[in-house]
Structure 1
Amino acid sequence: MGDIRRRGVVALGVTALVAPLTLVLGASPAQAASCTTSAGPYQKKVEKFLGRPVDGKQSAADCKAIQAFQNKHGIRPNIGYAGPVTWGVMDLMNKQRAVGKNPNKAGKCPTNKGRIACVNLTLQLSWIQDGKKLVYGPVAVRTGRNGYETRTGLKKVYWRNKNHVSTIYDVPMPYSQFFDGGQAFHSVGVSMWNPPGSHGCVNMTKTAAKKYWSLLKKGDDVYVYGRKPGT
């Protein structure tokens, strides 16, 4: 990656996680969008999360509710099966909600740097703080998938491009703020819980990316820590 534009080319991850459930359930690719009648290993937990009657038995209504959740977040296969990928997303959502407005409770993001953008890979959350004061967030983010992990450590915003387009993948990366060899904060048009993740960038909603753009500037610190589930 030679010039600055070349260095800033990490495209958003595409949905490529296809679990082998079709083989387990005996469904062909043509049937993948149909609802399964099989109860998954996380049936009760998924039912509880979705506010369904918790009986551990798959019903047509259960399947439709699970399938709607899968479609919303780009989870595949989307056959309404309460498997590990679907529950993994729900479990992460529960953990994110539990954080509330105290994302740095454990004190892992530095409080002696002034304004700093923090990224907790384990919980897939990011926020901006100034000392111990929370400035914005936390917001759900989508970081690097297995093999394309978002690198940990203390970094700095070194280049900003509001209308950046990846020169490798030819995809837009709006509100890009690069902080580590092509890895950047930027907005995407997919769910923040869309597996398996990005190609290393910290994906955000447009709302969050615009706010980060307004709050950060070149030279501001970024601290990335933890480990994304599944990497």
Structure 2
Amino acid sequence: MTEMHGTSTRSTEKVFKVLIVGDPSVGKTSFVQRYVYNTFNRHYKGTVGVDFALKVLHWADSMTVKLQLWDIAGQEKFSWMTRVYYKDSDGYLILFDLSNKNTLTNAIKWKTDVDSLCTRSDGRKLPCILVANKCDIPDSEKQVTREELEEISNQYQFSGWMEASAKEGTMVNESLRSLTTLMLLEQRNYRETSPNITLVASGTPTRKCC
């Protein structure tokens, strides 16, 4: 993360490197494209290695935030290569498919993998939000309940969780805004550790006891 200060208006620019990880076909590329360009395509090709996108946020009158979004390939055969891209990350999202519970099981493995390589020198883990993608599907097709998400989020120390839909654009902006807030809080040292936040489908963060 870098920081720049203007000489006249004292404006601040912050740059955060954000990883987007998860199994193949959970919608990572669609999620990034929806967030950056507000578009959706049903026929994306699988990512090879990593794709890169940039989103500029006018966070406040005197602050601009640039998010470098690294869409990491989910195929195991690329894992030896993609782990190189974890370096110097500031936070990450893990996506899974609500219609495929196996992708949630693997989301836990993704978190273990990233944490093992990106944990800070003082033991703190990067802010990480678990995103349940494809929430637009009928409830009868969903294989994971909110109660299960809450339990897994707590057990495996996610910063929080959120239901989203890259197809419909539901809660996509809110997911990245919540992660950006966590990264700013950590960077400003408001707390010794990242705040524990539960992010639900309504998009209203609920701060837990600390």
Q: What TM-score bracket applies, with the shorter chain setting the length? A: under 0.3
Which is richer in strand? 2
Larger of the two Rg values belongs to structure = 1
Which is richer in helix? 2
TM-score using structure 2 length = 0.28
Higher relative contact order, structure no. (Cα contacts within 8 Å, ≥ 6 residues apart)? 1
